[in-house]
Amino acid sequence: MKNLIEIYSEAIALLTPHQIYNRYPHQFQDDRSGKLRGRPPFRESKNGTSFTVFPDNGFFDAGDGFSGSAADYLHSMKIGRWERAKGRDFVEAVRELCQLARIPFPEQELSPEQIEKAAHWERRRGIIGSAIAFCEQVLWTDIGLEARRYLNEERGLSDQDIKTLQLGYFANYREVVKILKQRGFSQEEIKAAGLASPKWNGYITYPWHDDQGRPLTIYGRYHQKHPPEGLPKTLALPGGSTKRSPLYLDKVLANHHREAIFVEGVNDAAVLQTRGETRVLSGVAASFSNEQIEILKRRGITKIYHLGDPDGGGVGGTNSNLQRLTLAGISVFVPPQLPDGLDPDEFVIKYGLEAFHQLISNSEHGFRWKAKQIIATHGTDSDAAIKKVLEEAIAWSRLIPKEQESDLKAFYWVEIQQAIGSTDTSQFVEQLQTIKTQASLVEGIPNWKASELAEYIAYRHQSTLAWNTQIEQWYRYEGKEKGIWSKDDKYYIWQLIQEELKAIALIHQQRDKNGNKPGFSHNLVASIENLLKGSLPVRQWDSIEGLLPLKNGVLNLKTQEFHQHDPKYCLTYCLPYEYNPLATCHPILDWLNQMTGGDRIMVEFFRAHLAAIVRGRSDIQSYLELLGPGGTGKGTLTRLATALVGDQNTVSTTLKNLEENRFDTARIFGAKLVVITDAEKFGGEVSVLKALTGEDKLRFEQKYKQPLDGFYAQSRVIICANEAPQSSDYTSGLARRRQTTYLTNKIPIEKQRNLISINGKGVTGEFAQYLPGLLNWVLAMPPEELERAIREIPTTHPSFTQHKAQVLCETNPIADWLDQAVVYREGWRTNVGMAKRDKDSSSPNLFQCVNQWLYANYAEFCQSSGARPVSLRRFVNLLRDLAVNQLGLMVKKGRDRLGAFFEGLKLRSEMDNDPLLISGDKPPDTLPPGGNGGQPKNPSSPDTPPMPFCDGTVMDGDGTVIAETLARDGCDGSDGLSQKLIQTQGEISYAIAEHEKSESLDLTVLPSQEPPQTQMVTECDGNSGELSHPSSAVTELIDLLTQWETTTDTEFSSEDQFLAYTQTLEVKINGCFPELESICPDFCDRWCLAVLKVISLINNEGKSLEINHNEVKTQKSSHHLKSLKIGQKAIFRGGEVRIERLVNEVVALVSSLENLKQKSFEVAIAHLKPVG
């Protein structure tokens, strides 16, 4: 029995707008869009067109802001004002419409619930219709400009197409709610319809009408190709029956078609409709819903061409639709699979509507298609396989109604018979009958239990489905690409399970005497999926090596034999074009010659890198770095490499993202090529890049998932930049892998062409058709020649030598300094020294001893060039690595009683005319800071220093160096801290305890005639052990004994540094207050004040407090101030508050006491152990 909604819909479908809206002389005028415009019934209208009736029989009064349905109109005309038809008023309006349409109205008593449900649906239609109209207006304002651009450029729709489809833009949900309220809908109704939600902001709206052309729902697609993280690409209004009619079925019926073409996507259907293919409709899923099939049957559709997307979901959807449409009496035909992985809209845009019609005309009957699927699943290469084919064929045929038996014979059994090689039809029929009488597959259908269902599904899909335990990911054979195993999201696995359950349920229904069909829930599907993981696990995914997959088969790289695809190869990628051994690529070779200026060796070098990418030679630990200005071919060469191996097999990233985003490396799993752009903007660590190019294990972590065991990348790397990328790694570990080429042959803009372009629709441009030929060219290079070219050309070709020196000096400040300021002299010794401020106002240098010490000269060079110097310890190690490992110089590092030195390096002087050490250019006219060039081999020790503070040792300076050097490069705490050095010349000096055996640092402080200057940070060089001031020891020890981390304060969105582990630190004075106080009466006050300052800073998280004299007096009497312990909680917020502040104040205080020349006391900083 029909419900009230169906009765109302049937009446509306039989009536025209003129027949319904005739209770007032509206004097309607038709417009081009099919709307009627006339006079409103309850007010005057200046132009007489403010009352609009839409093709779906809804209306809108612009003056009163009221919109409604035909039932609302009839009810309002009775009472003389606009009002919604509710309850019994709605029933009477439906009765009146039935009388107008001359169809019977059921006289049975309707329940209040039935009446309210019908009225609710009609009000909902009005809300959706009003929202569609408003969003359509917004799309054609400036607000919708970006959305229109997306539809034009990315989806292939013209402005006229957009208007024809009545697409809109949902810019702001508040504005939509406001408009709907103005049109008489309540907040509750709007919310129930799903439109009062901010999640719709930014989505393009596709109107979805029912089979009679009335608003049914709204489909949303985000207005950019890739929505922001966390937002879905598509949206739909809530409600189980909001999609009960296929999209654009109303257009199919309006054009009087009895056959339709099924496509999956909304835009697929939209593009085809606007191109003139009015048979197209969509279920907006891989298959129709049961409600949609029921409507197709009721509206007289007799044939469906099922054109699924070229992926696993498309195959599963075809199976599902074939079975259920056949049971509904609708014939199914399946067109050939779309080429190049294109969706239907992409195919029509690329090849045109005529090609699409040809594709449809080549369709095969669904029964023949199903027979081929069964044959492909089991094969026919053995008797056992043939038996499985026949068993499954018989089982499936029992689902087909008897009235379609003739189609089964004509299309299904014929295909099966031919496949198994049977030529005798009578013998084939007899064979079928024998199998039917035995235990058939149908009799082996599992019980409706999760475990049995999972076992059955696992058996059927064991050759095409696998659970990769290494990365916890489903893999499916031919799920996306023919012949290839590809990752599949769990939702597609659920779809497969559901299709299997539907088929099994139908068999259970046929076998049940009452015809009951079992149902299934989300929990059952999820349970089966989890059980399948245990049935189909693969611990280690082992693709067969030496095979190169292409669209039309697999090439054996060793034997050059070409084979058909096979799941046993376990291949997880595919080159996006067909193999053609006769193809050539002369235009590409001509361009390579032009780009390299005819340098055939460079052409071979690029050929070797392309071949390494295709062959997956990640074992050659190197990467290609393309540098140069725009228009020199960097981008074209990179896109050629990408197109050669496939965009889907390429990961594009930035150096910053690769190094700092812990999830980025997971994307590299399975990739053949990694392209890094914007590398010149990064200056940090490159540990991930070194691991990627050095065959080291990479992290595998995905967002919101537990990190898994790492993996070894099988990809090559190309870096593309306008200038040499900077990093903080100056070692040979990265330099030896870096193969830099400068491209300088710039092509004028007016002569530049679209040689190759890659976007979401594929590869285009002049070179696209030559990719198979390019593959032949690179594969023709023997593997041993490939490896030789990559390893040897960079060491023998003159341009590489020049480029390597240029890149080294541009990216390594130490190399830049060494190139200009140092010459190679066998046997010559130059001390390392340190960087100490030169306070002589007449000196032209910032630091002392720039003519004698390497580090001082380097620091002076950095100061003048704007570079940031590294710490002394790191300088020593990096200089040795640069000279010995990267430049191959016979340089030795050593030390004697005068400190650390390098043998073989001499600071350049005016007398040295050697070519620049690295670049080989002639020396500059104006030398960098320098003098006599150091000291000769084995110099004699002078009785007295040649000049103050410059005797070649490290410790006798004033202790001041560049403040930046200790930011992250402090002394490592183990080099040189075991020596004791005592100096008694009246200067500040100190003894350093055996740090390897004790976790305390004792600083014996002797007073000086002159108080020290405000201290900056100093260094130790990691070898000599000398320190230049107590504050440096304090800083270094604090750096060693504490660990810092940066955290984000989510409440205030600010970053602060906190002590990661609470430490217990103790500061104490070994000496007595009375003795000091007798010499300096205010000493205790000053000492207590210093201690209290630190306490206040700690207790107030870095905020200094005012401390008055009374507090000092109170605390002075306490003996606790002689020994201050810090460690109550995580301390030192902000990073600026450090314990050396206290020590510096004490040191400065004691040093200023003139009467303490021979007295001494100790300031000890003891690291006890972490607290808690």
Q: For residue 1008, is pLDDT > 60? A: no
| pLDDT one-digit tens code per residue, 825-847 | 988 999 998 888 888 878 888 88
Those residues with Cβ within 8 angstroms of residue 774's Cβ, 6 or more apart along the chain or in another chain = 585, 588, 610, 640, 644, 767
Span of 29-38, 240-249, 405-414, 560-569 with lowest mean pLDDT: 240-249
Q: How far apart are CA 944 and CA 940, in angstroms?
A: 12
Can you say whether residue 577 is alpha, beta or left, with left for phi > 0 and alpha for psi between -120 and 50 degrees? beta
Q: By C-alpha distance, which of 269, 220, 270, 223 is closest to 242?
A: 220
pLDDT in tens, 594-628: 888 888 999 999 999 999 999 989 888 888 888 88
pLDDT at 623: 87
Q: CA-to-CA distance for 1031 and 1145, rounded, in angstroms?
A: 10
Q: Which distant-in-sequence residues (6+ apart) come within 8 Å of 403 by Cβ?
A: 329
- Taking 60 as the threshold, does the pLDDT of residue 925 lie above it? no
Split at pLDDT 50, 70, 90, the class of 1065 is: very low
Looking at residue 1066, its pLDDT comes to 40
Q: What percent of the chain has pLDDT over 90?
A: 26
The answer to whether 182 and 124 have CB atoms below 8 angstroms apart is: no
The pLDDT tens digits of the residues spanning 1074-1109 come to 444 444 445 455 555 555 554 554 444 444 444 444
Q: Residues 473-492: pLDDT tens digits?
A: 899 888 778 888 888 888 88
Higher pLDDT, 734 or 351: 351
Residue 968: the pLDDT is 31
Strand-strand pairing, 623-627 and 738-742: parallel
Of residues 1012 and 135, more confidently modeled: 135
- The three-class DSSP label of residue 244 is coil
Q: Among 56-70, 165-179, 1091-1105, which stretch is predicted with the lowest mean pLDDT?
A: 1091-1105
Sorting pLDDT into bands at 50, 70 and 90, what band is 957?
A: very low
Per-residue pLDDT at 504 exceeds 70: yes
User: At CA 1019, angle to CA 1018 and CA 1023, rounded to 5?
Assistant: 155
The pLDDT value given to residue 1027: 31
DSSP 749-774: GGG-----EEETTEEESTTGGGHHHH
Rounded CA-CA distance 277/305 in Å is 13
Confidence of residue 977 (pLDDT cuts 50, 70, 90): very low
Biggest alpha carbon distance in the chain?
127
Mean pLDDT of 515-529: 91
3-state secondary structure of 333: strand
Which range among 207-211, 276-280, 629-633, 1109-1113 has the greatest average pLDDT? 276-280
Q: What counts of helices (H) and strands (E) characterise the chain?
A: 40, 39
- Domain 586-803: give its CATH code: 3.40.50.300
Q: In this predicted structure, what is the pLDDT of residue 777?
A: 94
- d(Cα 892, Cα 902) in Å, to the nearest integer? 6
Residue entry with tokens 């001390």? 831
Separation between Cα atoms, residue 693 and residue 653, nearest integer Å: 15
Name the percent of the chain in helix, strand, coil, to the closest 5.
40, 15, 45
Tell me what the pLDDT averaged over the chain comes to.
Answer: 76
Point out which residues pair with 824 in neighbouring strands: 905
In this prediction, residue 1158 carries a pLDDT of: 39
- Residues 754-774 have a mean pLDDT of 87
CB count within 10 Å of CB 698 equals 17
Q: Is the pLDDT of residue 1041 over 80?
A: no
Sequential DSSP letters for 80-120: TS-----HHHHHHHHHHHHHHHT-----SPPPHHHHHHHHH
How far apart CA 469 and CA 535 sit, in angstroms, is: 12
**Residue 138: per-residue pLDDT:** 94
pLDDT at 8 over 70: yes
Q: Cβ distance 1034 to 975 under 8 Å?
A: no
Residue 158 three-state SS? coil
In this predicted structure, the answer to whether residue 987 has a pLDDT above a threshold of 50 is no
pLDDT at 779 over 90: yes
Residue 922 has a pLDDT of 60
**CB-based contact 202:176 (threshold 8 Å):** no
Please tell me the distance from the alpha carbon of residue 773 to that of residue 601, in angstroms, as a whole number.
20
Topology annotation, domain 813-966: Arc Repressor Mutant, subunit A (1.10.10)
Residue at token pair 């080294």:
808
Residue 110 pLDDT class (50, 70, 90 cuts):
low
Closest C-alpha to 177, from 218, 232, 119, 130 = 130
What are the φ and ψ backbone dihedral angles of 186, each rounded to 5 degrees? -85, 160
The mean pLDDT of 687-698, rounded to a whole number, is 82
Angle among Cα 501, 506, 508 to the nearest 5 degrees reads: 90
Give which of 460, 449, 600 is closest to 528, Cα–Cα.
449
Highest mean pLDDT among 2-11, 185-194, 270-279, 1148-1157: 270-279
Beta bridge partners of 721: 627
Residue 928 has pLDDT above 80, yes or no: no
pLDDT at position 162 is 94
1030 against 519, higher pLDDT: 519
Q: Indicate if the pLDDT at residue 315 is higher than 60.
A: yes
Alpha helices in 812-885 (DSSP H): 813-821, 854-865, 872-880
Identify the burial level of 354 via C-beta atoms within 10 angstroms of its C-beta, where 0-12 means exposed, 13-18 middle and 19 or more buried: exposed
- How many angstroms separate the CA atoms of 147 and 168, rounded? 9
Show me where the domains of the chain are located: 4-110, 243-362, 367-444, 446-572, 586-803, 813-966, 1000-1170
Q: State the average pLDDT over residues 1018-1036.
A: 35
| Confidence check: pLDDT of 136 > 90 | yes
CATH architecture classification, 4-110 = Alpha-Beta Complex (3.90)
Question: Position 283: which residue type?
Answer: G
pLDDT at 550: 92
Q: Residues of the chain with pLDDT > 70: what percent?
A: 74
d(CA 706, CA 711): 15
The domain defined by 243-362 carries CATH number 3.40.50.1220: no
Higher per-residue pLDDT: 507 or 1153: 507
User: Region 631-640: what's the mean pLDDT?
Assistant: 88
**Residue 220 near residue 266 (C-beta atoms within 8 A):** no
Predicted confidence band at 1137 (pLDDT cuts at 50, 70, 90)? very low
Q: Cα(593)–Cα(596) distance, rounded to whole angstroms?
A: 5
Nearest CA-CA partner of 499 in 365, 328, 313: 313
Sheet of 66-68, strand order: 29-30, 36-38, 51-53, 59-61, 66-68
**∠ Cα 1119 1120 1122 (to 5°):** 75
Q: How far apart are the first and last CA of the chain?
A: 75
**Rounded Cα distance, 1055 and 1049, in Å:** 6
Q: Distance between CA atoms of 479 and 315, rounded to whole angstroms? A: 8
Mean pLDDT to the nearest integer, 659-687: 79
pLDDT confidence tier of residue 538, bands split at 50, 70 and 90: confident
Q: Looking at the DSSP assignment, which residues form a beta bridge with residue 367? A: none
